[in-house]
Amino acid sequence: MGYRAEAYTSAWFPPSARQWLVIGLALIGLNSSAPCAGEDKQQDEKKPGEVTLDQVRELVSKQIELIRGGKAEELKQLFTPRLRQFITPGLLHEAAKHLALVRVEDLVHQIHPMQKKDRHIIVVRRANGRLLTVFVWHNNAWLADTLWFR
């Protein structure tokens, strides 16, 4: 009864081509300056610049025009995705009655730009100090995150 000598050898053999490939890819992955999947999303989205009171008034003014015109589909694009299902022609008809004599200057009196958890937001307050809406930087545009005209 014999034994196999090759089973008991402790000789070191160099890695095969496949093993070199795996080692090389692992090293490239560890030392790479290429962005990860999560970083791509952040690089694609531009950072918002400084926002002025006039720019926010212009955003609200455009929303008022669309409400008065009853253009629900166009107005939905100016709100965050979670609110779009609630914007209906009936809601716009009711809101248009209330917005007939409203001035944009009274609606948008103060803005407070801030950043929370890597999200850029603008808190908009009325002339009486009450909250009107919050704009969120989403897909390279400022979108309203509340149905302020209800």
Is 43 or 81 the better-scoring residue by pLDDT? 81
Q: Which residues pair with 143 in a beta bridge?
A: 136
The pLDDT assigned to 26 comes to 56
- Report phi then psi at 88, rounded to 5: -125, 160
Q: Which domains does the chain have, with CATH numbers?
A: 53-144 (3.10.450)
> Which of residues 123 and 34 earns the better pLDDT score?
123
User: Which pTM value belongs to this model?
Assistant: 0.69
Q: What amino acid is encoded at 92 in this protein?
A: L
Q: What is the percentage of the chain residues whose pLDDT exceeds 70?
A: 70
> At residue 6, does pLDDT exceed 60?
no
- In tens, the pLDDT along 82-112 reads 999 999 999 999 999 999 889 999 999 999 9
**For residues 65 and 77, what is the distance between their CA atoms, to the nearest angstrom?**
14
Q: Between β-strands 119-125 and 110-116, what pairing exists: parallel, antiparallel or unpaired?
A: antiparallel
What pLDDT does 43 receive? 47
Tokens read off for 49: 């610049």
